[in-house]
A and B are shown apart, each in its own frame.
Chain A
Amino acid sequence: MKPPLSLESLPQRQCATVATIDWSHLSTPEARRLRELGFDEGVGVEVLHRASLGKGPIACRIGRMTVALRRAVAGAIFVSPVAQ
């Protein structure tokens, strides 16, 4: 089995689907907002932009929406890349 890949380290423009979300790493309001923005197992995601190398937020596509997230949150979202 391949090691789990998080949204934080997903290469830019690589389509993927959400595999699991490690809710224990998120605060209650964070977890709720994440669900409200549509993060759920099986949904297609893609990293569109990174604010800067290493730190700063990332912009990702989730469903039809573009959402900005901090890296720590993105690190709790595990994804499986899909072949293009």
Chain B
Amino acid sequence: MTSTPLVALVGNPNAGKSALFNALTGARQKVGNYPGVTVERHSGKLVLPDGRIVELVDLPGAYSLEPSSPDERVTRDVVTGAQIGERLPDALIVVVDASNLDNHLRFALQLIALGLPVVVALNMIDLAARDGLTLDPVKLSAELGVPVIPTVAVRRRGLDEVKATLSGLIVESAAIRLRPSDPAIGEDIVTLQRRARKIALGATVSEAPVRRWTHALDAVALHPVWGVLLLMVILFTMFQAVFSWATVPADAISAGIAWAQESIRATLPDTPLRSLLTDGLLAGVGAVIVFLPQILILFAFILVLEASGYMVRAAFLMDRVMASVGLSGRAFIPLLSSFACAVPGIMATRTIEDEKDRLTTILIAPLMTCSARLPVYTLVIGALIPDRHVLPFVGLQGLVMFALYIMGLVGAFVVALVLRRTVTAGVSSGFMMEMPKYQMPRLRDVAIGLWSRAEIFLKRAGTTIALTIVLLWVLASYPVAPAGQKQSEYSIAGRIASGIEVVVRPIGFNHDIALALLPAMAAREAAVGAIATVYSIDNPDDPRGDNQLRRNLQARWSLPTALAFLMWFVFAPQCISTIAVTRRETNGWKWPAFMVGYLFALAYIAAGATYWAAIGLGL
């Protein structure tokens, strides 16, 4: 039996492997302009011109076959066939950045020496041209002894040639496939590097001096004063935008949900089913979906930062702070990604070389304010913090939001400092990183990124959150309270909440919050849904909609309680997915258990301190 041939995409970080993978297979793997975007293998199906189907795998970028971080290990294992249960690739597509040949050819030489059939994709020739560089692919091919195809992955140029070359390389009778021998892998980096430089020089036809945009931009972006200011302005604009740009679409969604609730009330008789639909699903899930525009705005900002090449600049500016708490400057990139969601953020830590360094980054990633906290923050801030301007263009609500983000960051740095001196003490992996050239973010890439986030969010709202809410509705609706008693207190859910309330009363939490804490474990946004559902059950005759939820909060929560609740959410590890991914990435329950423990303790202390301080201040 002949199995499908296996072809692997390999090369230096940021060479455009994933972009080429997407172009060849039609997949939508994440592409970004910084080293270390891909951290695990992804496979897809590629149809060759002769009709044969091959399995194409996209791999994390690496500098050599000697891995220095967990992601690079994956690459080495796949191309040497060392991966357990994995066959040796039948051919390699070695992707090199044409504008950076000296360096990329070194790894290419090492890969060619493995002895597998190779085609070199001379990618980013457009960028090389932008740098005034003209290359001779024929000469390069003669020097390397393998076919070289110029490509522009993002514009789908050179794809047909790559496919045609590939079908020539993959011979059907590969039954007697030899394991690669190791000679040049042993050849040391310096020797290979010198050879690579010579070949690169030989393949360069001409080099015209041009104005390098990247340097001009970096003069500002990396400036000790302007650079830091710019980073602050970018982050602050991001949070203000999240708060103010989303109002119109959010109101529209909210109105749509209210309309749906009213229509169901008008058509269905008053049965438990009607209540489940309106008070449970529509109120609960609706309260979460309203936040889709906000979450997309946040993601749009992060996607643009990732695509432009700014991420590494942010890491550069933050390195001093990172070093002072014992972390690698590189860790700032996973942390910044965790503003969107801690799960991919934690996976991105695979690019960090030192084990303890990486572990520390994983443990503090949940402190970055992820998008799932937005609904909680927005709802509570919108209801209880006055909407006024403290400075021109700076609203008080936006400022409180910003403060919560900063709290998370400061918390993370303090925790890192403590951990690095205790449980994860060790050397830091320092900061040594390639800085990519700036690129204009492609609208299509950003749109695809947003679309897949919207899909994930809606799916989560439709499954995890909807299930949680239905369960909550059942537990909160039965047994039916006798007249004069509050349904939210008499029901099963109410009684469970009363038990939790005993523990959280000292930090200012009321019965509503106690009731929301358990569903929030499934997903933070579910807290908002849970509160909406409970109020809806308690007051079935209220007018529907977002504003009503806000009015209920204003009536039932004091300002100190609200502040304590916000503070709780800065720290509390209310996310099962984060705990699960931590378990996977650290191979066991020890560290996730530690993480959950320390975060709950911090949340409790911070919420309590905030509550009593607010009471003391007479708020």
Contacts and interface: CB of A to CB of B under 8 A. Distances in A.
A50 B219 CA distance: 10
A69 interface: yes
Given A35-B190, A68-B312, A29 B99 contact: no
B386 to A, nearest CB: 38
Nearest to A43: B197
Given A33-B432, A57-B329, A40 B222 contact: no
Chain A CB within 10 Å — which of B66, B101, B430 has the most?
Answer: B430
A63 to B, nearest CB: 5
B435 A52 contact: no
Nearest to B328: A70
A37 B222 contact: no
Interface string B223-262: 1100100000000000000000000000000000000000
Given A40-B190, A49-B222, A51-B224, A67 B353 contact: no
A56 B432 contact: no
Contacts of A36: 63-64, 106, 189
Contacts of B106: 36, 38
A63 B432 contact: no
B427 A27 contact: yes
A38 B432 contact: no
B63 A37 contact: yes
Interface in A13-61: 27, 29-30, 32-38, 40, 43, 48-53, 55-57, 59
A66 interface: yes
Contact of A50 (B215, B224, B315, B432): B224
B100 A64 contact: yes
Contacts of A66: 214, 218, 434-435, 437
A37 B319 contact: no
A65 interface: yes
Contacts of A50: 224
Contact of B194 (A34, A40, A51, A70): A40
A50 B540 CA distance: 62
B317 interface: yes
B215 A48 contact: yes
Contacts of B63: 33, 36-37
A52 B437 CA distance: 21
A73 interface: yes
B103 A70 contact: no
B349 interface: no
B317 A29 contact: no
Interface residues of A, number: 32
A52 B214 CA distance: 19
Contacts of B224: 50-53, 56
B435 A64 contact: no
Interface in B177-225: 189-190, 193-194, 197, 214-215, 218-219, 222-224
B432 A32 contact: no
B316 A68 contact: yes
A27 B101 CA distance: 27
Interface string B350-385: 000110000000000000000000000000000000
B320 A63 contact: no
B106 to A, nearest CB: 8
Given A63-B102, A67-B433, A68-B435, A33 B68 contact: yes
B323 interface: yes
Main secondary structure of the interface of A (DSSP, over half): mixed
Contacts of A69: 431-432
B429 interface: yes
Contact of B193 (A35, A53, A67): A35
Contact of B68 (A32, A40, A53): A32
Interface string B60-81: 0001101010000000000000
B190 A57 contact: no
Interface string B414-437: 000000000000010111111101
B432 A73 contact: yes
Contacts of B312: 68
Q: Which of B214, B319, B427 has the most CB of A within 10 A?
A: B319
Nearest to B219: A49
Contacts of A67: 432-435
A50 B320 CA distance: 12
B183 to A, nearest CB: 19
A32 B106 CA distance: 14
B427 to A, nearest CB: 7
A65 B434 contact: yes
A22 to B, nearest CB: 15
Interface string B305-319: 000000010011101
Nearest to A67: B434
Contact of A70 (B197, B218, B431): B431
Contacts of A55: 320
B190 A70 contact: no
Nearest to A69: B432
B435 A32 contact: no
A64 B430 contact: no
Contacts of B64: 36
Nearest to B225: A52
B430 A70 contact: yes
Nearest to B228: A52
Contacts of B320: 51-52, 55-57
14 contacts: A29-B353, A32-B68, A36-B64, A37-B63, A48-B218, A49-B222, A50-B224, A53-B224, A56-B320, A57-B431, A59-B316, A63-B102, A65-B100, A68-B433
Interface of A: 27, 29-30, 32-38, 40, 43, 48-53, 55-57, 59, 63-70, 72-73
Interface of B: 63-64, 66, 68, 99-103, 106, 131, 189-190, 193-194, 197, 214-215, 218-219, 222-224, 227, 312, 315-317, 319-320, 323, 329, 353-354, 427, 429-435, 437
In the complex, the 9 A-B pairs of residues with the closest C-beta atoms, listed nearest first? A36-B63, A49-B222, A52-B224, A66-B435, A56-B320, A35-B189, A63-B102, A57-B319, A68-B433
Given A67-B434, A68-B316, A70-B431, 13 more contacts: A30-B430, A30-B432, A36-B63, A36-B64, A38-B106, A48-B215, A51-B224, A59-B218, A66-B437, A67-B432, A68-B434, A68-B435, A73-B430
